[in-house]
Structure 1
Amino acid sequence: MTRKWNKWTPEEDALLRELWASDVKMDVIASHFPNRQHFTVYEHARRVLGLPQRRIPQPFDDVLSWRLISAQLQKAPATAKALADATGLKHSTVAGLLKNRHGRLVFISGYVRHTTRCLPVRVWALGNGRDAHKPRALTATERKRRYMKKLRKKEPERIDAWAAKVRVRKQMKSGELVRRDPAAAWIGTTTHQTAP
């Protein structure tokens, strides 16, 4: 089945130009053209009509949120999670605002390792400084070594039990440890005497 393409009329182009110059959201502009998709309206405005990139003022909530975040960053550099906890904002909101202002108002002053996954987490600071070098992620062996070291401090008896199991397994594989057959142990070592 062939699709019928609807050409843009001069009236639609004029309406699009008028709406594009206003401060309304793109969803509202697209709703004025019910037979066209959101992306189609945007592409027609930018590519065919040559309209400039839209500069929509920030919502008032973003301005207030940024003020809260920048007040916390003036005290000390912090991670996005720490900023979210301190300001009461959602983590996704804080991360989005930091990402949008990265390179202009904030920079990455360093990295800390995430406690459970050992991934480097960004530490943000105010200013237009140079970003810190991102450390490489830990390998599986390094993560296990860190975990075992932490476990050795917290639960040494658990480590000892685990090490004993490993030793027994290793001895069994190498043939150094021979386990008796439970059936043979049950029979025992009694000798049968025969009658003369």
Structure 2
Amino acid sequence: MTAWNPWSPEEEALLRKHWGNGEPTKAIAILLPTRSAAAVLKHGYDMGLGPRECRRPSFSPVWEGVKHALADSKKMTSSELAALLKVTPHAVQKQMRLRHGTEVRIGGFDVRAHAPNVIRWALGAGPDAPTPKRKSRKEINRAFSRRMRKDPEYCARQNLRARLRYAEKRGNLIRPDAATVWLKVPPQHHAEPVRPEHYRDTRAVPQVGMMGWTK
């Protein structure tokens, strides 16, 4: 006859800790080597711990890919994760909503000047990163000007406009020859046919850039 093996306070405390977290009874029995799954289930009901809400752990290949991508304290946006895993951003965002606060948190933000800030996700259940303060319109314009001053094409366009305004102010610009301007205008397939009086009427000449003006 098998001797009765009473439960110790430590075993009951461990059973009470893992009873309501949704783990299978077999998983709890592994933590109690001297107890079977049936014994764990019976003693839990005898202790009055309530009904079991056992559920099978859900498997998501998207979440497994996210965990691998965010390993080593990496922080990535939903779009970056979607491009890396070759899935849609909606699939990534769904996993983030399900696990936000428990397995994943907001690790930072990508601050955008003219758009909402983009979340960078990080693994862990810690607190979310604080939301950065929105920049003022003056700060946004100042940052844009600093970036554009390093762009040679932007600087060339600005200098061209400045030289044109200065020439207009000094009165150095005159109306160009009508025939010269007409040759520079691209063909219009649905335009009115050109007549001889168009060469003599300078008022019908369209405005062109600085390269079309003559001194």
TM-score scaled by length of structure 1: 0.49
TM-score by length of 2: 0.45
Higher helix fraction (1 or 2): 1
